[in-house]
Each structure stands twice: as C-alpha cells, then as structure tokens.
Amino acid sequence: MKHATMVIDGKPVAGAATREAVNPYSGQVWARIPDASADEVDRAVESAQRAFRETWRRTPGVERARLMLALADALEAEADSMARMESTDNGKIIRETRPQMTFAARNLRFFAGYADKLYGRTIPLDNPSLFDYTRRRPYGVAALITAWNSPIGLLANKLPPALATGNTVVVKPSEHASVTTCELARLACEVGFPPGVVNVITGGPQAGEALISHPGVSKISFTGGSATGTRIAEAAARRLVPVTLELGGKSPNIIFDDADLDRAIVGAVSGIFAAAGQTCVAGSRLLVQRPVYDEVVAAIAERAAGIRLGDPLDPATEMGPVANEPQYQRILGLIEAARGDGATLVAGGGPATGFGAGLFVAPTVFADVAPDMRVATEEVFGPVLSIIPFDDEDDAVRIANGIDYGLAAAVWSRNIDRVHRVVEQLEVGAVWVNTYRSTAAQAPFGGIKRSGYGRERGEDALAEYTYTQNVMIDYSGAARDPFVIRT
C-alpha cells in the first residue's frame, strides 16, 4: 500500500482525511492519498505567496535554471519507478508512461534555458527625452490543475514555464491519479527548491474549489473537461484572474484518397487507441474520402480487433484499461447511444472480457457515422472511433469544423497543395500532416472554441505566466505643466 503525501512549504503533509486510489487493472486499492481540507489549501497558497515575495521572484534566472535542470535529472533517474506508479494509478500502458517521464524532463530542460533570457524591449517614442522599456514579470502564485489521464505529462506543460518565469505554484492533480505528482514534488524538495516554491495538494472537488477561489492565487492553468473549464473560467472572472484552459477535443483525422494508406491507417489506429482513447487530442473522428472509404474501414476494423489488451505494466500490452469506473460507464453509454443512432458497428462494441475486475473496453469502431450523431459530436474519451465518409475538400472541411471543439486535427495526403488549402481552413489549434500525436517541447499547443484558450509548451507558454510591465523615464530635467499629458 502506497501512502502518498502532499507537499506544503517544503514538508510532507499526510492530511487528516484520505481517499483510496484504485488500480483500474486489478480493481484493488493500491494507494491512499490525502483529501486536502480548506485549511490545508490555505496553508499551501500562503506558503507559495511567502516564497514568491521573499525568495523566488528575487532568485536569479540562472539559479532557477540550475534547480530545474536538477529536477529534470532526478525525474529521469526515477523514470522507471514513476512510470510504474502512473500506470498502476491510471491504467495507461508503461510503453507510454515511461517516455512521458523523459519528455517531462525534456520540458524542464527546455524552459530552464529561458529562465535567464526573459528579455524586455526598448521602445522608441515620439518625444526623444522619454526613455521607454518593458519587463516581463511573473504573476505570483499559479494554481496548476491537471487531469487523470497523464498527470506528469500534463504537469510538464505547466510547471516548467511557471517556474522559469519566477512564479511559485500550488499543484492540484486529479483525485483519480495523484501519486506521481506527489512524488515529483518530493523530488523538487530533494534537489533544493526553496520551501513553498512547489506545493502539491490532493483531494476532490472541494479542494479544487478552495484553490481556484483563493484570493492569494494570481494565475490558473487547468487541463480537463470543457464543463469544468467553464466553471473555472467563471470563478476566475469574478476575481479577474488570468486563466489558461486546455480542454476537450473531438479531433478530425482526415484521410484523402491520395494518401499513403498504410501510413494513414497506422496513424488512425494510434490516434484513437493509444492511451485507450483517453487523450484530449484523440483522433476520434476519422474522415475518409469515399473512393478509399471501404478499404480504410476494413483495415481499421481488422487492426482494432487485433490490439493486444492486458496488464499495463507488461511492455507487450498495446492498450490498458480505462482509468476509473465513472469514465468506464460513460464510454459504454456512448457506445450504446451510437448503436441506437444507427451507426454501423464493425469492431468491439462493449466491455472486453477475460480481465477480471479490470475496466477494459474493447477497441470499438463505428462506420457510416453521421456528423451529427452523439458519438461524433461528444468527447467520448475512450477507445471508440467514428468513421465518417466525405466527398471532397470542401465537404471534409465542413465536417471537420462543424463541432464546438477546436483542439487538433490531421491531414493525410501526398498533395502538398491540397494540404495547405485544407490546413488553412481548419479551425483548430494544432494540425498534424501525415503523422498523429507527435509532440515536441518547442511546439506550442492549445485549442480554440470549447477546447479552451492559451498555449502550453514552446516559447508561447512563457507569455501565459508573465505580464508586461512598461517603464517610462523622463530624462529631460525640465519642469512641465502638471495639467497637460506629455507625449
């Protein structure tokens, strides 16, 4: 039994109340996590405020970078054990959680490189005796709230830019997967981060509500569902707190008839069944041009039926269970809705049996899906693919853009002219061409519409955690009329 602890002001905190963490593969309780009280949330924020005022914002960028690099080294050194814990906590296969740990280290190193390079600008003005320049300033305490599907992967999008720019943080992971976040905070303490710079609280919605409404929080970054994101944005708006929201998606994966079908089919399968479909960028809507539609449907149905399900800690496993019981039931409900709406089931279609108490859903493929069916418009967040036929470029763009989400998309085609025409019209924040789910620390990521706003990763993320301060200096030495604005 693992007993996770929160980290507040550089110290482990067990908490007065705890929650059970259930292994979705075995169905057994494998860990206990604290259920933070409002008082503990308050202590965490106060600790972060104190560290910001007294220490971190005065810490030179080169020292912030040194600590971030040390944390990256520590995370890599424990990547195997961290990956095992995360796979045990949320059911994601270790073939994915292990690389996510090293990618998190890569993000830390990438943003560490910016910690001493947060340059402002000098701005020439009309009046030659006025000198004007800008500075990039941290907000203060940033609340970083992550989802259960990739706790460390998602935190790696938020924590490095927040720390590099001089903010202190209070992290709130999902109550469904908190253990590795607590471990990362432990590592931060061990490598020497000053007390209060990195705090972690755990628990359910009450802890989250206490955090986002706390008057000491000056910035919020949230990854999760669109409904929760809306509530967070509303709460933040009441206090005029800036927010970054990375929310849901219903990404169109578009295969044209001139695509390399072997590559496109692999991309379609990995786009939806990797991580058991539990990723915001899942290519859950596969748009296929009619001349190759039947061929693609048959190939994907065959591949889906052959996906190896099993223990997420077994390197041979290709798809693990879904992460928790509420999500498991929701996925099954949307599968039944697709049947009722008249979609043609060509693979899967319900629970995968033979795994005991494991929360397994068979890789499911529906063909002949109409663009307005629930399974094609609602985020399933599970291993369920909707295949939709289209006629031409205009038809593909119309279907792709015809939903409320705008996170990601992909285009598969050998025709570079077509690629550019289609990409230019897609209403999404990220587009892949002849690949899917590729990522890089340097590449900004985020959505539009109900998929949220703001950007994570890449240089753009620095702007999410800083504000511009303008400084204007009059060096003329001359007195001026106090009732006239000087330009």
**Which residues are annotated as catalytic?**
246, 280
DSSP at 37: -
Q: Which residue has the tokens 């996510």?
A: 100
Q: d(Cα 430, Cα 447) in Å, to the nearest integer?
A: 7
If DSSP codes are grouped into helix, strand and coil, which group holds residue 233?
helix
Do residues 183 and 86 lie in contact, with contact meaning Cβ atoms separated by under 8 Å? no
Name the amino acid, one letter, at 100: Q
Do residues 254 and 408 lie in contact, with contact meaning Cβ atoms separated by under 8 Å? no
Name which of 240, 22, 49 is nearest 138 in CA terms: 49
Name the amino acid, one letter, at 243: V
- Phi first, then psi, for residue 346 (nearest 5°) are -120, -5
Which residues, listed in sequence order, are joined to residue 169 by a DSSP beta bridge?
A: 142, 198
If DSSP codes are grouped into helix, strand and coil, which group holds residue 89?
helix
- Phi first, then psi, for residue 443 (nearest 5°) are -90, 120
Q: Which residue has the tokens 């503990």?
A: 40
Name which of 156, 383, 399 is nearest 270 in CA terms: 383
Name the amino acid, one letter, at 288: V
CA neighbours closer than 13 Å in the CB half-sphere of residue 59: 25
- Phi first, then psi, for residue 79 (nearest 5°) are -60, -40
